[in-house]
Structure 1
Amino acid sequence: MSQPTPIVQPLLLQFQQLFFLSKLVGVLPQDLAKFRFKNVLEKSRNGMIYMLGMLMLYIVLYNLLIYSFGEEDRSLKATQSTLTFVIGLFLTYIGLIMMVTDQVTALFNQGRLGDLYERIRVVDERLYREQCLVDNSTIAKRIRIMLLMTFVFELFILLSTYVKLVDYTQLLSLLWIVSAIPTFINTLDKIWFAVSLYALKERFEAINATLEDLVTEHEKFLTWLNGDDHNNSIEDHAAEESASQPPQYDSNLEYLYKELGGIDVGSLRGSGSKGKNKVAPIAHSMNSFGESIQSPRKLQQSNATPMINMAHESELSNATKVEEKLNNLCQVHDEICEIGKAMNGLWSYPILSLMAYGFLIFTAQLYFLYCATRAQSIPSLFRSAKSPFITVVVLIYTSGKCIYLIYLSWKTSLASKRTGISLHKCGVVADDNLLYEIVNHLSLKLLNHSVDFSACGFFTLDMETLYGVSGGITSYLIILIQFNLAAQQAKDAINSFNSFNDTAGLVGAATEFGNESSSLFDLVTTTMMTPLN
């Protein structure tokens, strides 16, 4: 049995490049053939086995990388403070933990992810029936831009660190490529979330734009009504004035005046200037048979100043007809909110791990940059902090992912709440009691179906959270620098004390040796001076 042709193109049609790349590196376990031919995400046993195999390979390679570049880490505790050693040991595995969280979450949610995009397709069909169109072509462009920026940042950080800070003359230095795998996989996973979130925001904005169009059309309708009444009154007033005044002289009909009436044309030339000697020409009031002629008033006026009347239509002028459309739009709005909550549940743990990673890495990278400027040893995997320029690029790349997700979540939440404002505009501009009741009833539903995005409920993804995270990074960075200064001062004091003890020991030994020499001299002198019996 052939399946019915979909009314709208599925959203996943724009994810072709992203899906194939994610499938290749092991981000998603879904079936490749089903996505290629049907644009759907379905479970796949082979895809799950492939993804688990890639995950185990990444873990083995990452631990081999740590062991190969761990010579500096093994001597770090002896040469530097314990704080730097503990921070480096913990942050060495934070990237691996983030990557494992993303892939394990994708394994558990592979069935729910396909249902999510199917619900988005149904929403698009319902919006299409309400003449509310959504342009998905911008999503494909956005995906390409994100992928391009990901490759640029990853390759720059990897190659610059490898060439400048790694001894590439050794064969094991090629394992440095593995250091970019956790962040690359995490970025691909977050592109899926960011683009899907952007798609929801576009659908909220499409509903808001439809409601705003209803308001604009009704305002044009009211303007047309007022303008039509005003034009009719002007036409009637002009017709009355033309009827009360005699017709004016027309110089082009001078020969006809002479033939028909024998009128003195010279007395009519100045009749229209000052209102004197106004005599109605026979040619304007009688035809060739001597019958009076009266032209239609409105026809004369329309010929003098032609006007085009365009009738505007407004759905808000009939509350009973627009009620169904408003109900459907609000139901679609509720469905999009539910999709947003489901999406937040799917990426809840990966978002929490990303935010924790971004907070820790941003703070640690700046702290290790400070340690590098003080000629102190730092963990091997954070050797990019030895270069200020590479550090800036790493911070831009890491913070950019976190800030963009927070900003996009905040804008999506605002777009969902703005629908109630646009709905109330319809009630205000229509000024109808029945429509007021419909709008108030629907606005209560919208108020109870708002969507907010959070990281496992710990904090909301909005600009206020971004401000708090920035303050936290600054505070912890100052604390770490103070502890480092205290540790270095204590170490310098211990070294000074040890050197003082060594010096004092040498001085004491020399003094004791001098005393022993003096006693021996006295003994020899006394013996030689004693007489022999």
Structure 2
Amino acid sequence: MSQPRQLVQPLLQQFQELFVISKLVGVLPQDLEQLRQKHALEKSRNGMFYMLGVLVFYVLLYNLLIFWFGAEDTSLKASQSTLTFVIGLFLTYIGLIMMVTDQLTGLLNQGQLGELYERIRQVDERLYLEQCLVDNSSISKRIRVMIALTFIFEISILVSTYIKLVDYTQVLSLLWILTAIPTFINTMDKIWFAASLYALKERFEAINATLEDLVAEHERYRDWLYKAENKFSDETEPPQYDSNLEYLYKELSGMDRASAGKNKVAPIAHSLNSFGESVQEPRKLQRANTNRMINLAPESELSNAAKVEVKLNNLCQVHDEVCEIGKAMNGLWSYPILALMAYGFLIFTAQLYFLYCATQGQIIPSLFRTAKNPVITAIFLMYTSGKCIYLIYLSWKTSLTSKRTGISLHKCGVVADDNAVYEIVNHLSLKLLNHAMDFSACGFFTLDMETLYGVSGGITSYLIILIQFNLAAQQAKEAIQSFSSFNETAGLVGAATEIDNVSSTLYSLVTTMMTPISLT
């Protein structure tokens, strides 16, 4: 049985390259052939087992990496402050935790993810029926740019660190390549979220653009009516019109032929309408009246309350559906986003702290040796913060775009200046208000620019606190060392004094014994 013909291009058609990479590294378990043939994400048992195997393999290799390079940290606790040791020990596994969260979430949500993109396809069909088209080609370009940037940053950090900061003469030093796996898998997963979120933002913008077009169309129509009234008010005779266009006059003014003398909406006798656009004259009209050319402006949809109610209802229903898709998408990626934000906050703070320790000649954990080089540190921080900032910014812009639909809707009511349209707009705006969409990380905080400002302030505050604790620990250690040196010096002086005293006593005893006793 043949499948029904699709009216629009599926969104997943733009994700094929990303899906192939994600499938190879173990980000998503869905079937690749079903994506190529049907442009749909469907469950795959083989893909699930493959992803579980890849996950276990990554965990084992990462622990081997920690064991091998952790041998260099045996003297860290003894030589440096306990704070540096604890921070390094805790953050050693933060990348692995983030990777496991992404992969387990992908396994648990593989069915819901396919349903999500199917709902987006249905939304596109409904928008198509409302003559509201969405171009998905820009999404494909964005995905390619994000993949290219990911490879550039990952390879730059990995190669520069391996050449400058790793002893590559040893065979097991190749395990350093495994440090790039958690961040690469996390980035691939977040590209899926970012591209899907941008797709929702485009659909909100398409709805807003359609409403703005209704407003602009009605303004042009109103200007046309105003110009027509001013032109025909000075004429003594009513304008002549062809009988074949009588139905158009009824549509425009609600008047029949008998009241043609009072009709002020009439054709304009030139080949351009009021919008400055050329209009081709019908063939029957050319035969009936060859002396003058007649043009009519199209009627605005906002001038008909019944039509505009259907139009606005359909657009608001689609808007509600896109909001529900956004909420579902936020639920699917809620835990991975929380893990990413926690990772970004901790790693950014720790990397700057270890950079300070390296500048002071202190030993830092081996897995954070990128902090020894300021250039590599800058690239690493740019890569990590870029992911977090872009997701926060895109979530904030999508939320603002969804809320701007209410403003565009009220513009329709203002420009129509009709009580029936006002009632429709007020009713629908209340529905839009109740479907406000915001993105959050498991409800802990909202992904907006205010949160970004708070995170930036938190990083600065904690970095200052860590540096102060480090300074206090170093000062205490120097004081202890100075006191120990003083005690050693004092002990040596005391021993030397005691030896002198013993020597003097022996000398006195010998002298006494050698002195002859006088007999009187």
Q: TM-score, normalised by structure 1?
A: 0.86
Measure, in 2, the Cα distance between the counterparts of 1:84 and 1:307: 87
After TM superposition, the structure 1 = structure 2 runs for residues 163-174 of structure 1, keeping only pairs within 5 Å, are 163-174=163-174
Paired residues of 2:154 and 2:180 also in contact (CA < 8 A): yes
Q: Secondary structure of 1:69's match? A: helix
How far the C-alpha of 1:228 sits from its partner, in A, is 1.2
Paired residues of 1:92 and 1:381 also in contact (CA < 8 A): yes
Tell me how many residue pairs correspond in the alignment: 470
Letter in 2 for 1:403: I
Moved more, 340-349 or 311-320: 311-320
Measure, in 2, the Cα distance between the counterparts of 1:404 and 1:338: 22
Cα–Cα, structure 1 residues 307 and 481, in superposed 2: closer, same or farther, change >3 Å? farther
Measure, in 2, the Cα distance between the counterparts of 1:345 and 1:236: 69
Paired residues of 2:399 and 2:438 also in contact (CA < 8 A): yes
Kindly, what percent of the aligned residue pairs are identical?
Answer: 78
Letter in 2 for 1:433: N
**Equivalent residue for 2:117?**
117
Letter in 1 for 2:2: S
How far the C-alpha of 1:6 sits from its partner, in A, is 0.6
How far the C-alpha of 1:72 sits from its partner, in A, is 2.5
1:483 matched to 2:487: no
**Equivalent residue for 1:336?**
322
Letter in 1 for 2:348: F
Cα–Cα, structure 1 residues 371 and 486, in superposed 2: closer, same or farther, change >3 Å? same
User: Among residues 298, 302, 319, which one is paired with 1:316 in the alignment?
Assistant: 302
**Equivalent residue for 1:87?**
87
**Equivalent residue for 1:140?**
140
Measure, in 2, the Cα distance between the counterparts of 1:310 and 1:530: 151
After TM superposition, the structure 1 = structure 2 runs for residues 301-450 of structure 1, keeping only pairs within 5 Å, are 310-450=296-436
Cα–Cα, structure 1 residues 30 and 524, in superposed 2: closer, same or farther, change >3 Å? same
**Equivalent residue for 1:71?**
71
How far the C-alpha of 1:233 sits from its partner, in A, is 3.8
**Equivalent residue for 2:457?**
471
Q: Deviations over 1:439-492 (max 9, x none)?
A: 111111000011110000000000000000000000000000000000000000
Q: Deviations over 1:149-193 (max 9, x none)?
A: 000000000000000100111101100000000000000000000
Measure, in 1, the Cα distance between the counterparts of 2:307 and 2:495: 109
**Equivalent residue for 1:223?**
223
Measure, in 2, the Cα distance between the counterparts of 1:436 and 1:146: 44
Measure, in 1, the Cα distance between the counterparts of 2:27 and 2:10: 21
Q: Secondary structure of 1:169's match? A: coil
CA RMSD of aligned residues (A): 1.8
Q: Deviations over 1:397-448 (max 9, x none)?
A: 0000000000000011111111111011001000111111111111110000
Measure, in 2, the Cα distance between the counterparts of 1:82 and 1:236: 99
**Equivalent residue for 1:281?**
none
Runs of 4+ in 1 over 3 A off after TM superposition: 233-237, 305-310
Measure, in 2, the Cα distance between the counterparts of 1:71 and 1:225: 84
Measure, in 1, the Cα distance between the counterparts of 2:190 and 2:236: 68
Letter in 2 for 1:213: D
Paired residues of 1:220 and 1:312 also in contact (CA < 8 A): no
**Equivalent residue for 1:525?**
511
Q: Secondary structure of 2:16's match? A: helix
Q: Secondary structure of 2:198's match? A: helix
The gaps in structure 1 that reach 5 residues or longer are 240-300
Paired residues of 2:8 and 2:125 also in contact (CA < 8 A): yes
Paired residues of 2:215 and 2:415 also in contact (CA < 8 A): yes
How far the C-alpha of 1:523 sits from its partner, in A, is 0.6
Q: Secondary structure of 1:436's match? A: helix
Measure, in 1, the Cα distance between the counterparts of 2:514 and 2:385: 90
**Equivalent residue for 1:273?**
none
Bigger radius of gyration, 1 or 2?
Answer: 1
Q: TM-score, normalised by structure 2?
A: 0.88
Measure, in 1, the Cα distance between the counterparts of 2:235 and 2:473: 94
How far the C-alpha of 1:531 sits from its partner, in A, is 2.6
Cα–Cα, structure 1 residues 220 and 302, in superposed 2: closer, same or farther, change >3 Å? closer
How far the C-alpha of 1:313 sits from its partner, in A, is 2.3
How far the C-alpha of 1:31 sits from its partner, in A, is 1.2
Letter in 1 for 2:216: T
Letter in 1 for 2:380: V
Paired residues of 1:224 and 1:312 also in contact (CA < 8 A): no
